[in-house]
Chains A and B, each alone.
Chain A
Protein backbone atom coordinates (compact mmCIF):
# COMPACT_ATOMS: atom_id res chain seq x y z
CA UNK A 1 0.00 0.00 0.00
CA UNK A 2 2.76 2.37 1.00
CA UNK A 3 4.71 1.98 -2.23
CA UNK A 4 1.59 2.49 -4.30
CA UNK A 5 0.76 5.73 -2.54
CA UNK A 6 4.28 7.02 -2.99
CA UNK A 7 4.01 6.26 -6.70
CA UNK A 8 0.86 8.35 -6.99
CA UNK A 9 2.40 11.34 -5.22
CA UNK A 10 5.50 11.09 -7.36
CA UNK A 11 3.46 10.99 -10.57
CA UNK A 12 1.59 14.09 -9.55
CA UNK A 13 4.84 15.87 -8.86
CA UNK A 14 6.23 14.83 -12.25
CA UNK A 15 3.09 16.04 -14.00
CA UNK A 16 3.34 19.33 -12.17
CA UNK A 17 7.00 19.77 -13.15
CA UNK A 18 6.27 18.94 -16.78
CA UNK A 19 3.35 21.36 -16.73
CA UNK A 20 5.49 24.14 -15.30
CA UNK A 21 8.20 23.58 -17.93
CA UNK A 22 5.57 23.69 -20.66
CA UNK A 23 4.02 26.90 -19.34
CA UNK A 24 7.44 28.59 -19.02
CA UNK A 25 8.35 27.54 -22.56
CA UNK A 26 5.08 28.79 -24.03
CA UNK A 27 5.25 32.11 -22.19
CA UNK A 28 8.88 32.60 -23.27
CA UNK A 29 8.02 31.88 -26.90
CA UNK A 30 4.97 34.15 -26.94
CA UNK A 31 6.14 37.05 -24.78
CA UNK A 32 8.26 38.84 -27.44
CA UNK A 33 5.39 38.66 -29.94
CA UNK A 34 2.90 39.95 -27.39
CA UNK A 35 5.19 42.88 -26.53
CA UNK A 36 5.62 43.77 -30.18
CA UNK A 37 1.88 43.72 -30.82
CA UNK A 38 1.30 45.87 -27.72
CA UNK A 39 3.92 48.43 -28.76
CA UNK A 40 2.78 48.54 -32.38
CA UNK A 41 -0.72 49.59 -31.36
CA UNK A 42 0.05 51.78 -28.37
CA UNK A 43 -0.05 55.55 -28.32
CA UNK A 44 3.14 57.52 -28.98
CA UNK A 45 3.38 59.02 -25.51
CA UNK A 46 2.77 55.71 -23.76
CA UNK A 47 5.50 54.09 -25.87
CA UNK A 48 8.02 56.84 -25.22
CA UNK A 49 7.37 56.87 -21.52
CA UNK A 50 7.86 53.13 -21.56
CA UNK A 51 4.48 52.32 -20.10
CA UNK A 52 3.58 49.57 -22.55
CA UNK A 53 3.73 46.02 -21.21
CA UNK A 54 1.58 43.29 -22.70
CA UNK A 55 -1.57 45.13 -23.78
CA UNK A 56 -1.71 48.22 -26.03
CA UNK A 57 -2.14 51.53 -24.18
CA UNK A 58 -4.05 54.39 -25.82
CA UNK A 59 -4.88 52.00 -28.64
CA UNK A 60 -4.26 53.42 -32.12
CA UNK A 61 -3.51 52.04 -35.58
CA UNK A 62 -1.91 55.20 -37.05
CA UNK A 63 1.65 53.96 -36.52
CA UNK A 64 0.92 50.66 -38.23
CA UNK A 65 -0.82 52.38 -41.13
CA UNK A 66 2.09 54.84 -41.39
CA UNK A 67 4.63 51.98 -41.48
CA UNK A 68 2.89 49.82 -44.06
CA UNK A 69 2.03 52.87 -46.16
CA UNK A 70 5.58 54.21 -46.36
CA UNK A 71 7.18 54.05 -49.80
CA UNK A 72 10.27 52.25 -48.48
CA UNK A 73 8.14 49.53 -46.90
CA UNK A 74 6.04 49.05 -50.02
CA UNK A 75 9.08 48.94 -52.30
CA UNK A 76 10.92 46.41 -50.14
CA UNK A 77 7.71 44.40 -49.80
CA UNK A 78 7.42 44.24 -53.58
CA UNK A 79 11.03 43.03 -53.88
CA UNK A 80 10.43 40.35 -51.25
CA UNK A 81 7.17 39.20 -52.86
CA UNK A 82 8.81 38.94 -56.30
CA UNK A 83 11.91 37.16 -54.95
CA UNK A 84 9.79 34.76 -52.88
CA UNK A 85 7.32 33.84 -55.61
CA UNK A 86 9.75 33.65 -58.55
CA UNK A 87 12.39 32.00 -56.37
CA UNK A 88 10.00 29.35 -55.06
CA UNK A 89 8.85 28.47 -58.58
CA UNK A 90 12.41 28.15 -59.88
CA UNK A 91 13.49 26.23 -56.79
CA UNK A 92 10.61 23.73 -57.10
CA UNK A 93 11.37 23.18 -60.78
CA UNK A 94 15.07 22.58 -60.19
CA UNK A 95 14.39 20.39 -57.15
CA UNK A 96 11.95 18.15 -59.03
CA UNK A 97 14.12 17.89 -62.14
CA UNK A 98 17.11 16.93 -59.99
CA UNK A 99 15.22 14.52 -57.74
CA UNK A 100 13.36 12.39 -60.29
CA UNK A 101 16.32 10.96 -62.25
CA UNK A 102 18.15 10.23 -58.99
CA UNK A 103 15.15 8.24 -57.75
CA UNK A 104 15.22 5.82 -60.74
CA UNK A 105 17.32 2.79 -59.95
CA UNK A 106 18.12 2.15 -63.61
CA UNK A 107 19.55 5.64 -64.16
CA UNK A 108 23.23 5.20 -65.06
CA UNK A 109 24.51 8.52 -63.68
CA UNK A 110 22.57 8.07 -60.42
CA UNK A 111 25.47 7.41 -58.12
CA UNK A 112 27.85 9.97 -59.58
CA UNK A 113 25.28 12.75 -59.60
CA UNK A 114 24.15 11.98 -56.05
CA UNK A 115 27.73 12.28 -54.83
CA UNK A 116 28.18 15.54 -56.74
CA UNK A 117 25.01 16.98 -55.21
CA UNK A 118 25.74 15.82 -51.66
CA UNK A 119 29.29 17.14 -51.81
CA UNK A 120 27.89 20.68 -52.11
CA UNK A 121 26.25 20.16 -48.71
CA UNK A 122 29.66 19.47 -47.21
CA UNK A 123 31.96 21.96 -48.82
CA UNK A 124 30.97 25.57 -49.40
CA UNK A 125 33.20 27.73 -51.56
CA UNK A 126 32.69 30.59 -49.13
CA UNK A 127 31.52 34.19 -49.26
CA UNK A 128 34.28 35.72 -51.38
CA UNK A 129 34.27 33.26 -54.33
CA UNK A 130 30.45 33.50 -54.41
CA UNK A 131 30.70 37.27 -54.50
CA UNK A 132 33.25 37.14 -57.34
CA UNK A 133 31.01 34.74 -59.27
CA UNK A 134 27.99 37.02 -58.89
CA UNK A 135 30.10 39.96 -59.94
CA UNK A 136 31.46 38.02 -62.93
CA UNK A 137 27.93 37.08 -64.02
CA UNK A 138 26.83 40.68 -63.69
CA UNK A 139 24.25 39.74 -61.07
CA UNK A 140 25.28 42.21 -58.36
CA UNK A 141 22.43 44.57 -57.66
CA UNK A 142 19.88 42.38 -59.40
CA UNK A 143 17.07 40.36 -57.86
CA UNK A 144 18.57 37.21 -59.42
CA UNK A 145 21.36 37.51 -56.87
CA UNK A 146 18.66 37.00 -54.24
CA UNK A 147 17.10 34.07 -56.10
CA UNK A 148 19.86 31.89 -57.58
CA UNK A 149 22.07 31.17 -54.55
CA UNK A 150 19.14 29.57 -52.70
CA UNK A 151 17.38 27.99 -55.67
CA UNK A 152 18.40 24.38 -55.09
CA UNK A 153 18.55 22.97 -51.60
CA UNK A 154 20.09 19.52 -51.80
CA UNK A 155 18.43 18.68 -48.50
CA UNK A 156 14.97 19.39 -49.95
CA UNK A 157 15.92 17.60 -53.16
CA UNK A 158 16.75 14.44 -51.19
CA UNK A 159 13.32 14.58 -49.50
CA UNK A 160 11.56 14.81 -52.86
CA UNK A 161 13.79 12.03 -54.20
CA UNK A 162 12.74 9.74 -51.35
CA UNK A 163 9.10 10.43 -52.22
CA UNK A 164 9.66 9.49 -55.84
CA UNK A 165 11.39 6.33 -54.59
CA UNK A 166 8.43 5.43 -52.43
CA UNK A 167 6.02 5.34 -55.38
CA UNK A 168 5.20 1.76 -56.44
CA UNK A 169 7.48 0.39 -59.17
CA UNK A 170 4.49 -1.35 -60.80
CA UNK A 171 3.00 2.02 -61.77
CA UNK A 172 5.98 2.91 -63.90
CA UNK A 173 6.41 -0.60 -65.32
CA UNK A 174 2.77 -0.81 -66.38
CA UNK A 175 2.95 2.53 -68.12
CA UNK A 176 6.20 1.61 -69.84
CA UNK A 177 4.72 -1.65 -71.11
CA UNK A 178 1.88 0.40 -72.56
CA UNK A 179 4.53 2.37 -74.44
CA UNK A 180 4.82 5.48 -72.30
CA UNK A 181 8.11 7.37 -72.50
CA UNK A 182 10.06 8.49 -69.47
CA UNK A 183 8.75 12.02 -69.89
CA UNK A 184 5.16 10.79 -69.99
CA UNK A 185 5.67 8.68 -66.88
CA UNK A 186 7.21 11.66 -65.13
CA UNK A 187 4.67 14.27 -66.09
CA UNK A 188 1.47 12.19 -66.12
CA UNK A 189 2.05 9.71 -63.29
CA UNK A 190 4.86 10.74 -60.98
CA UNK A 191 4.38 14.50 -60.85
CA UNK A 192 0.72 14.36 -59.71
CA UNK A 193 1.74 11.90 -56.99
CA UNK A 194 4.31 14.26 -55.45
CA UNK A 195 2.24 17.44 -55.63
CA UNK A 196 1.45 17.37 -51.87
CA UNK A 197 5.15 16.93 -51.12
CA UNK A 198 6.05 19.75 -53.48
CA UNK A 199 3.51 21.97 -51.75
CA UNK A 200 5.28 21.37 -48.44
CA UNK A 201 8.76 21.84 -49.90
CA UNK A 202 7.51 24.95 -51.71
CA UNK A 203 6.37 26.45 -48.41
CA UNK A 204 9.82 25.78 -46.96
CA UNK A 205 11.49 27.46 -49.93
CA UNK A 206 9.08 30.39 -49.65
CA UNK A 207 9.79 30.91 -45.95
CA UNK A 208 13.51 30.63 -46.70
CA UNK A 209 13.35 33.29 -49.41
CA UNK A 210 11.16 35.53 -47.31
CA UNK A 211 13.50 35.39 -44.31
CA UNK A 212 16.82 35.48 -46.16
CA UNK A 213 18.70 38.72 -45.68
CA UNK A 214 22.28 37.57 -46.02
CA UNK A 215 22.28 37.43 -49.83
CA UNK A 216 20.94 40.98 -49.98
CA UNK A 217 23.68 42.05 -47.59
CA UNK A 218 26.30 40.45 -49.83
CA UNK A 219 25.07 41.27 -53.31
CA UNK A 220 22.78 44.30 -53.09
CA UNK A 221 24.01 47.84 -52.48
CA UNK A 222 21.28 49.86 -54.21
CA UNK A 223 18.62 50.79 -51.68
CA UNK A 224 15.74 50.45 -54.16
CA UNK A 225 16.51 46.72 -54.45
CA UNK A 226 16.55 46.02 -50.74
CA UNK A 227 14.15 43.31 -49.60
CA UNK A 228 11.89 43.62 -46.59
CA UNK A 229 14.34 42.03 -44.13
CA UNK A 230 16.96 44.68 -44.95
CA UNK A 231 14.38 47.43 -44.57
CA UNK A 232 13.50 46.00 -41.16
CA UNK A 233 17.20 45.83 -40.30
CA UNK A 234 17.58 49.53 -41.13
CA UNK A 235 14.56 50.44 -39.00
CA UNK A 236 15.94 48.45 -36.06
CA UNK A 237 19.32 50.18 -36.41
CA UNK A 238 17.63 53.60 -36.50
CA UNK A 239 15.56 52.82 -33.43
CA UNK A 240 18.76 51.85 -31.63
CA UNK A 241 20.31 55.33 -31.85
CA UNK A 242 20.82 56.07 -28.14
CA UNK A 243 20.39 59.86 -28.27
CA UNK A 244 17.01 59.54 -29.93
CA UNK A 245 15.96 56.93 -27.47
CA UNK A 246 17.01 58.63 -24.28
CA UNK A 247 15.76 62.10 -25.00
CA UNK A 248 12.15 61.27 -25.58
CA UNK A 249 10.73 63.86 -27.88
CA UNK A 250 7.11 63.68 -26.87
CA UNK A 251 5.93 65.85 -29.74
CA UNK A 252 6.77 63.24 -32.37
CA UNK A 253 3.86 61.73 -34.19
CA UNK A 254 5.15 58.17 -33.94
CA UNK A 255 7.42 56.68 -31.34
CA UNK A 256 10.58 54.83 -32.36
CA UNK A 257 9.36 51.81 -30.42
CA UNK A 258 6.02 51.92 -32.19
CA UNK A 259 7.61 52.12 -35.63
CA UNK A 260 10.03 49.34 -34.87
CA UNK A 261 7.30 47.10 -33.48
CA UNK A 262 4.93 47.82 -36.36
CA UNK A 263 7.65 47.03 -38.92
CA UNK A 264 8.49 43.74 -37.19
CA UNK A 265 4.81 42.86 -37.16
CA UNK A 266 4.35 43.81 -40.82
CA UNK A 267 7.27 41.59 -41.81
CA UNK A 268 6.04 38.48 -40.00
CA UNK A 269 2.35 38.78 -40.94
CA UNK A 270 2.78 36.80 -44.20
CA UNK A 271 4.51 34.03 -42.25
CA UNK A 272 1.63 33.95 -39.76
CA UNK A 273 -0.82 33.66 -42.66
CA UNK A 274 0.86 30.59 -44.19
CA UNK A 275 1.85 29.10 -40.82
CA UNK A 276 -1.28 26.93 -40.34
CA UNK A 277 -0.66 25.34 -43.76
CA UNK A 278 3.00 24.91 -42.96
CA UNK A 279 2.23 23.25 -39.68
CA UNK A 280 -0.14 20.82 -41.31
CA UNK A 281 2.63 19.45 -43.51
CA UNK A 282 6.01 20.12 -42.03
CA UNK A 283 6.05 17.53 -39.29
CA UNK A 284 5.24 14.87 -41.86
CA UNK A 285 7.98 16.15 -44.15
CA UNK A 286 10.55 16.18 -41.40
CA UNK A 287 9.65 12.72 -40.22
CA UNK A 288 10.02 11.30 -43.69
CA UNK A 289 13.33 13.11 -44.03
CA UNK A 290 14.44 11.44 -40.84
CA UNK A 291 13.49 7.91 -41.79
CA UNK A 292 14.32 7.74 -45.46
CA UNK A 293 17.20 8.87 -47.61
Chain B
Protein backbone atom coordinates (compact mmCIF):
# COMPACT_ATOMS: atom_id res chain seq x y z
CA UNK B 1 0.00 0.00 0.00
CA UNK B 2 2.82 2.36 0.78
CA UNK B 3 3.63 2.62 -2.90
CA UNK B 4 0.53 4.60 -3.67
CA UNK B 5 1.17 7.08 -0.93
CA UNK B 6 3.23 9.40 -3.05
CA UNK B 7 2.56 12.87 -1.88
CA UNK B 8 3.04 15.99 -3.87
CA UNK B 9 4.32 18.44 -1.30
CA UNK B 10 2.61 21.81 -1.11
CA UNK B 11 4.80 24.81 -1.89
CA UNK B 12 6.66 25.80 1.24
CA UNK B 13 5.32 29.35 1.29
CA UNK B 14 1.69 28.34 1.78
CA UNK B 15 2.69 26.02 4.59
CA UNK B 16 4.43 28.90 6.35
CA UNK B 17 1.41 31.17 5.88
CA UNK B 18 -1.02 28.69 7.39
CA UNK B 19 1.31 28.17 10.31
CA UNK B 20 1.28 31.85 11.21
CA UNK B 21 -2.50 31.72 11.15
CA UNK B 22 -2.41 29.13 13.94
CA UNK B 23 -2.78 31.47 16.88
CA UNK B 24 -2.95 30.48 20.48
CA UNK B 25 -6.31 32.24 20.63
CA UNK B 26 -7.55 29.79 18.01
CA UNK B 27 -6.57 26.89 20.21
CA UNK B 28 -8.48 28.35 23.12
CA UNK B 29 -11.51 29.24 21.04
CA UNK B 30 -11.75 25.87 19.34
CA UNK B 31 -11.03 23.63 22.32
CA UNK B 32 -7.67 21.95 22.23
CA UNK B 33 -8.42 19.68 25.18
CA UNK B 34 -11.20 17.84 23.42
CA UNK B 35 -8.90 17.02 20.53
CA UNK B 36 -6.25 15.74 22.93
CA UNK B 37 -8.86 13.59 24.60
CA UNK B 38 -9.92 12.26 21.24
CA UNK B 39 -6.35 11.32 20.33
CA UNK B 40 -5.94 9.46 23.58
CA UNK B 41 -7.55 6.18 22.49
CA UNK B 42 -5.88 5.70 19.08
CA UNK B 43 -2.55 7.00 20.30
CA UNK B 44 -2.64 4.83 23.39
CA UNK B 45 -3.30 1.97 21.04
CA UNK B 46 -0.26 2.85 18.93
CA UNK B 47 1.87 3.17 22.07
CA UNK B 48 0.79 -0.28 23.23
CA UNK B 49 1.05 -2.14 19.92
CA UNK B 50 3.92 -0.26 18.26
CA UNK B 51 6.11 1.49 20.83
CA UNK B 52 5.92 -1.00 23.71
CA UNK B 53 7.21 -3.84 21.50
CA UNK B 54 10.06 -1.51 20.48
CA UNK B 55 11.06 -1.54 24.16
CA UNK B 56 10.93 -5.31 23.92
CA UNK B 57 13.91 -5.03 21.59
CA UNK B 58 16.10 -4.86 24.71
CA UNK B 59 16.28 -8.65 24.37
CA UNK B 60 18.82 -8.18 21.60
CA UNK B 61 21.25 -7.29 24.44
CA UNK B 62 20.08 -10.19 26.60
CA UNK B 63 20.24 -13.92 26.67
CA UNK B 64 16.47 -13.86 26.81
CA UNK B 65 14.67 -16.61 28.65
CA UNK B 66 10.92 -16.49 28.12
CA UNK B 67 10.21 -17.93 31.58
CA UNK B 68 12.41 -15.40 33.36
CA UNK B 69 11.13 -12.41 31.38
CA UNK B 70 12.79 -9.10 30.52
CA UNK B 71 13.90 -8.27 34.06
CA UNK B 72 15.41 -11.57 35.11
CA UNK B 73 17.08 -12.53 31.84
CA UNK B 74 20.82 -12.10 31.78
CA UNK B 75 22.26 -8.96 30.16
CA UNK B 76 25.03 -9.96 27.82
CA UNK B 77 25.82 -6.95 25.63
CA UNK B 78 26.62 -7.63 22.00
CA UNK B 79 27.19 -11.37 21.55
CA UNK B 80 23.83 -11.73 19.77
CA UNK B 81 25.07 -9.37 17.08
CA UNK B 82 28.34 -11.25 16.90
CA UNK B 83 26.44 -14.50 16.53
CA UNK B 84 24.16 -13.10 13.82
CA UNK B 85 26.93 -11.53 11.76
CA UNK B 86 29.08 -14.62 12.13
CA UNK B 87 26.29 -16.91 10.98
CA UNK B 88 26.41 -18.09 7.38
CA UNK B 89 22.66 -18.72 7.41
CA UNK B 90 22.03 -15.06 8.17
CA UNK B 91 24.09 -13.90 5.18
CA UNK B 92 22.35 -16.49 3.00
CA UNK B 93 18.86 -15.24 3.87
CA UNK B 94 19.97 -11.62 3.53
CA UNK B 95 21.29 -12.44 0.09
CA UNK B 96 18.05 -14.24 -0.84
CA UNK B 97 16.01 -11.26 0.31
CA UNK B 98 18.06 -8.87 -1.78
CA UNK B 99 18.18 -11.10 -4.86
CA UNK B 100 14.45 -11.84 -4.84
CA UNK B 101 13.57 -8.17 -4.45
CA UNK B 102 16.04 -7.09 -7.12
CA UNK B 103 14.54 -9.68 -9.51
CA UNK B 104 11.12 -8.32 -8.63
CA UNK B 105 12.26 -4.78 -9.31
CA UNK B 106 13.74 -5.68 -12.69
CA UNK B 107 10.97 -7.96 -13.97
CA UNK B 108 7.91 -6.74 -12.10
CA UNK B 109 8.41 -2.99 -12.08
CA UNK B 110 7.99 -2.22 -15.83
CA UNK B 111 4.77 -4.24 -16.19
CA UNK B 112 2.37 -1.88 -14.37
CA UNK B 113 3.72 0.96 -16.52
CA UNK B 114 3.03 -0.99 -19.72
CA UNK B 115 -0.45 -1.93 -18.47
CA UNK B 116 -1.19 1.69 -17.59
CA UNK B 117 -0.23 2.81 -21.10
CA UNK B 118 -2.33 0.02 -22.64
CA UNK B 119 -5.37 0.86 -20.48
CA UNK B 120 -5.22 4.60 -21.11
CA UNK B 121 -4.83 4.04 -24.85
CA UNK B 122 -8.15 2.15 -24.96
CA UNK B 123 -10.71 4.47 -26.46
CA UNK B 124 -13.82 2.41 -25.70
CA UNK B 125 -14.95 3.31 -22.16
CA UNK B 126 -16.67 -0.01 -21.57
CA UNK B 127 -13.64 -2.08 -22.62
CA UNK B 128 -11.46 0.17 -20.49
CA UNK B 129 -13.54 -0.28 -17.35
CA UNK B 130 -13.98 -4.00 -17.88
CA UNK B 131 -10.22 -4.53 -18.33
CA UNK B 132 -9.51 -2.55 -15.18
CA UNK B 133 -12.02 -4.64 -13.23
CA UNK B 134 -10.29 -7.84 -14.30
CA UNK B 135 -6.73 -6.62 -13.87
CA UNK B 136 -7.29 -5.26 -10.35
CA UNK B 137 -9.04 -8.39 -9.08
CA UNK B 138 -5.97 -10.49 -8.13
CA UNK B 139 -4.85 -7.77 -5.69
CA UNK B 140 -7.84 -8.62 -3.50
CA UNK B 141 -7.16 -12.30 -2.99
CA UNK B 142 -4.84 -13.49 -0.23
CA UNK B 143 -1.33 -14.89 -0.72
CA UNK B 144 -2.69 -18.21 0.51
CA UNK B 145 -5.16 -18.19 -2.38
CA UNK B 146 -2.31 -17.29 -4.74
CA UNK B 147 -0.36 -20.25 -3.36
CA UNK B 148 -3.45 -22.42 -3.89
CA UNK B 149 -3.72 -21.24 -7.49
CA UNK B 150 0.01 -21.81 -8.01
CA UNK B 151 -0.32 -25.39 -6.76
CA UNK B 152 -3.43 -25.88 -8.89
CA UNK B 153 -1.42 -25.00 -11.98
CA UNK B 154 2.19 -25.91 -11.09
CA UNK B 155 1.73 -28.60 -8.43
CA UNK B 156 2.68 -32.26 -8.87
CA UNK B 157 -0.95 -32.93 -9.80
CA UNK B 158 -1.49 -29.49 -11.30
CA UNK B 159 -2.80 -28.67 -14.74
CA UNK B 160 0.65 -28.16 -16.24
CA UNK B 161 1.78 -31.62 -15.13
CA UNK B 162 -1.50 -33.12 -16.32
CA UNK B 163 -0.77 -31.63 -19.69
CA UNK B 164 2.78 -33.01 -19.60
CA UNK B 165 1.66 -36.52 -18.73
CA UNK B 166 -1.01 -36.36 -21.44
CA UNK B 167 1.84 -35.61 -23.86
CA UNK B 168 3.87 -38.47 -22.42
CA UNK B 169 6.35 -36.20 -20.64
CA UNK B 170 7.59 -36.67 -17.09
CA UNK B 171 6.11 -34.68 -14.24
CA UNK B 172 8.13 -31.73 -13.01
CA UNK B 173 7.88 -30.66 -9.37
CA UNK B 174 8.05 -26.95 -10.14
CA UNK B 175 7.47 -25.78 -6.60
CA UNK B 176 10.20 -27.86 -4.99
CA UNK B 177 13.02 -26.86 -7.34
CA UNK B 178 15.36 -24.32 -5.71
CA UNK B 179 16.40 -22.95 -9.10
CA UNK B 180 12.79 -22.23 -10.11
CA UNK B 181 11.53 -20.78 -6.83
CA UNK B 182 12.63 -17.17 -7.32
CA UNK B 183 11.06 -17.16 -10.76
CA UNK B 184 7.81 -18.40 -9.28
CA UNK B 185 7.93 -15.64 -6.65
CA UNK B 186 8.40 -13.03 -9.37
CA UNK B 187 5.63 -14.53 -11.53
CA UNK B 188 3.08 -14.73 -8.72
CA UNK B 189 3.95 -11.17 -7.65
CA UNK B 190 3.36 -10.03 -11.24
CA UNK B 191 0.06 -11.89 -11.37
CA UNK B 192 -1.23 -10.47 -8.09
CA UNK B 193 0.03 -6.90 -8.06
CA UNK B 194 0.85 -5.61 -11.53
CA UNK B 195 -2.74 -4.63 -12.37
CA UNK B 196 -3.16 -2.87 -9.07
CA UNK B 197 0.24 -1.23 -9.42
CA UNK B 198 -0.86 0.33 -12.71
CA UNK B 199 -3.44 2.56 -10.97
CA UNK B 200 -0.94 5.19 -9.91
CA UNK B 201 0.51 5.38 -13.43
CA UNK B 202 -2.98 5.60 -14.92
CA UNK B 203 -3.74 8.51 -12.58
CA UNK B 204 -0.50 10.10 -13.69
CA UNK B 205 -1.26 9.63 -17.42
CA UNK B 206 -4.81 10.95 -17.04
CA UNK B 207 -3.47 14.14 -15.51
CA UNK B 208 -1.43 14.96 -18.64
CA UNK B 209 -2.79 18.00 -20.46
CA UNK B 210 -4.82 16.60 -23.41
CA UNK B 211 -3.80 19.61 -25.52
CA UNK B 212 -0.31 18.14 -25.71
CA UNK B 213 -1.69 15.06 -27.46
CA UNK B 214 -3.95 17.14 -29.71
CA UNK B 215 -1.13 19.42 -30.77
CA UNK B 216 1.13 16.45 -31.47
CA UNK B 217 -1.57 14.77 -33.54
CA UNK B 218 -2.08 17.91 -35.60
CA UNK B 219 1.68 18.05 -36.17
CA UNK B 220 1.45 14.52 -37.56
CA UNK B 221 2.89 12.56 -34.65
CA UNK B 222 2.00 8.89 -34.81
CA UNK B 223 0.48 7.01 -31.91
CA UNK B 224 3.81 5.44 -30.99
CA UNK B 225 5.52 8.82 -31.19
CA UNK B 226 2.92 10.30 -28.83
CA UNK B 227 3.46 7.50 -26.34
CA UNK B 228 7.24 7.80 -26.49
CA UNK B 229 7.47 11.58 -26.58
CA UNK B 230 4.55 12.65 -24.41
CA UNK B 231 3.20 9.89 -22.19
CA UNK B 232 6.46 8.39 -20.98
CA UNK B 233 8.31 11.65 -20.28
CA UNK B 234 5.23 12.96 -18.45
CA UNK B 235 5.06 10.00 -16.09
CA UNK B 236 8.84 9.72 -15.68
CA UNK B 237 8.85 11.51 -12.29
CA UNK B 238 6.25 9.06 -10.97
CA UNK B 239 8.29 6.15 -12.32
CA UNK B 240 11.48 7.35 -10.62
CA UNK B 241 9.63 8.07 -7.39
CA UNK B 242 8.07 4.62 -7.19
CA UNK B 243 11.32 2.97 -8.17
CA UNK B 244 13.07 4.71 -5.28
CA UNK B 245 10.31 3.75 -2.85
CA UNK B 246 10.56 0.16 -4.04
CA UNK B 247 14.31 0.13 -3.50
CA UNK B 248 13.74 1.65 -0.06
CA UNK B 249 11.49 -1.24 0.91
CA UNK B 250 13.78 -3.89 -0.53
CA UNK B 251 14.50 -5.54 2.84
CA UNK B 252 10.95 -5.46 4.10
CA UNK B 253 8.66 -6.52 1.29
CA UNK B 254 7.70 -10.05 0.43
CA UNK B 255 7.68 -12.08 3.66
CA UNK B 256 3.99 -12.89 3.50
CA UNK B 257 4.27 -14.04 -0.09
CA UNK B 258 7.29 -16.30 0.49
CA UNK B 259 5.77 -17.73 3.67
CA UNK B 260 2.71 -18.78 1.68
CA UNK B 261 4.63 -20.35 -1.20
CA UNK B 262 7.87 -21.82 0.10
CA UNK B 263 8.71 -25.21 1.60
CA UNK B 264 11.89 -26.76 3.08
CA UNK B 265 13.15 -27.96 -0.31
CA UNK B 266 13.59 -24.36 -1.54
CA UNK B 267 15.07 -22.74 1.59
CA UNK B 268 18.39 -22.50 -0.24
CA UNK B 269 17.08 -19.88 -2.68
CA UNK B 270 13.76 -18.84 -1.15
CA UNK B 271 14.29 -18.35 2.57
CA UNK B 272 14.14 -14.60 3.25
CA UNK B 273 14.83 -12.60 6.42
CA UNK B 274 11.19 -12.50 7.52
CA UNK B 275 10.64 -16.23 7.11
CA UNK B 276 13.96 -17.07 8.77
CA UNK B 277 13.16 -14.85 11.77
CA UNK B 278 9.74 -16.50 12.02
CA UNK B 279 11.20 -20.02 12.06
CA UNK B 280 14.15 -19.37 14.35
CA UNK B 281 12.16 -17.07 16.63
CA UNK B 282 8.69 -18.50 17.05
CA UNK B 283 9.60 -21.97 15.84
CA UNK B 284 12.98 -22.78 17.39
CA UNK B 285 12.41 -20.17 20.15
CA UNK B 286 15.81 -18.55 19.76
CA UNK B 287 14.25 -15.25 20.79
CA UNK B 288 17.32 -13.05 21.27
CA UNK B 289 19.03 -14.29 18.11
CA UNK B 290 15.99 -13.82 15.85
CA UNK B 291 15.01 -10.50 17.43
CA UNK B 292 18.52 -9.27 16.64
CA UNK B 293 18.05 -10.13 12.98
CA UNK B 294 14.64 -8.46 13.01
CA UNK B 295 16.11 -5.38 14.65
CA UNK B 296 18.95 -5.18 12.12
CA UNK B 297 16.45 -5.57 9.30
CA UNK B 298 14.10 -2.87 10.60
CA UNK B 299 16.94 -0.48 11.27
CA UNK B 300 18.61 -0.82 7.87
CA UNK B 301 15.16 -0.88 6.24
CA UNK B 302 14.24 2.39 7.91
CA UNK B 303 17.50 4.03 6.88
CA UNK B 304 16.89 2.97 3.27
CA UNK B 305 13.33 4.32 3.25
CA UNK B 306 14.42 7.60 4.81
CA UNK B 307 17.21 7.89 2.24
CA UNK B 308 14.81 7.15 -0.62
CA UNK B 309 12.47 9.80 0.72
CA UNK B 310 15.26 12.34 1.12
CA UNK B 311 16.32 11.79 -2.48
CA UNK B 312 12.80 12.21 -3.85
CA UNK B 313 12.24 15.26 -1.70
CA UNK B 314 15.53 16.84 -2.71
CA UNK B 315 15.36 16.21 -6.43
CA UNK B 316 11.68 15.90 -7.24
CA UNK B 317 9.94 17.99 -4.60
CA UNK B 318 7.78 15.02 -3.74
CA UNK B 319 7.87 12.72 -0.77
CA UNK B 320 6.49 9.48 0.55
CA UNK B 321 5.10 11.07 3.69
Instruction: Give the B-binding residues of A (Cβ under 8 A).
Output: 3-4, 7, 10-11, 14-15, 18, 21-22, 25-26, 28-30, 32-33, 35-36, 39, 50-53, 93-95, 97-98, 100-102, 104-109, 113, 116-118, 120-133, 135, 148-149, 151-153, 155, 157-158, 172, 176, 181-183, 186, 207, 210-214, 217-218, 229-230, 232-233, 235-236, 239-240, 242, 245-246, 256-257, 260-261, 263-264, 267-268, 271, 275, 278-279, 282-283, 286-287, 289-293
A residues near B141, Cβ cutoff 8 Å: 211, 268, 271
Contact A127-B29, Cβ < 8 Å, known A26-B134, A50-B165, A245-B156: no
Check B122 for interface membership: any CB of A closer than 8 A. Answer: yes
B30 touches A176 (CB 8 A): yes
Smallest CB separation, B132 vs chain A (Å)? 8
Check B178 for interface membership: any CB of A closer than 8 A. Answer: no
B45 touches A151 (CB 8 A): yes
B259 touches A217 (CB 8 A): yes
Distance in angstroms between the alpha carbons of A97 and B183 in the assembled complex: 43
**Majority SS of interface residues in chain A?**
helix
B148 touches A104 (CB 8 A): no
Check B157 for interface membership: any CB of A closer than 8 A. Answer: yes
A182 touches B35 (CB 8 A): yes
Smallest CB separation, B283 vs chain A (Å)? 10
A108 touches B145 (CB 8 A): no
Contact A182-B31, Cβ < 8 Å, known A94-B45, A128-B277, A290-B6: yes
Per CB-CB distance, the 3 closest pairs between chain A and chain B, nearest first, are: A126-B294, A50-B162, A129-B56
Distance in angstroms between the alpha carbons of A165 and B10 in the assembled complex: 14
A residues near B229, Cβ cutoff 8 Å: none
B residues near A39, Cβ cutoff 8 Å: 152
A residues near B59, Cβ cutoff 8 Å: 128-129, 132
A242 touches B29 (CB 8 A): no
A129 touches B53 (CB 8 A): yes
A residues near B278, Cβ cutoff 8 Å: 127, 217-218
Smallest CB separation, A170 vs chain B (Å)? 14
Smallest CB separation, A16 vs chain B (Å)? 11
A20 closest partner in B (C-beta): B118
Q: Write the B29-57 contact mask toward A (1 if CB under 8 angstroms, else 0).
A: 11110111011011101101111111011
A29 touches B282 (CB 8 A): no
B306 touches A36 (CB 8 A): no
Q: Write the B113-149 contact mask toward A (1 if CB under 8 angstroms, else 0).
A: 0110111011000000001111111101111110111
A236 touches B144 (CB 8 A): yes
A residues near B137, Cβ cutoff 8 Å: 29, 33, 275
Checking B22, B32, B54, B200 against A123 with a beta-carbon cut-off of 8 angstroms, the contacting residue is B54
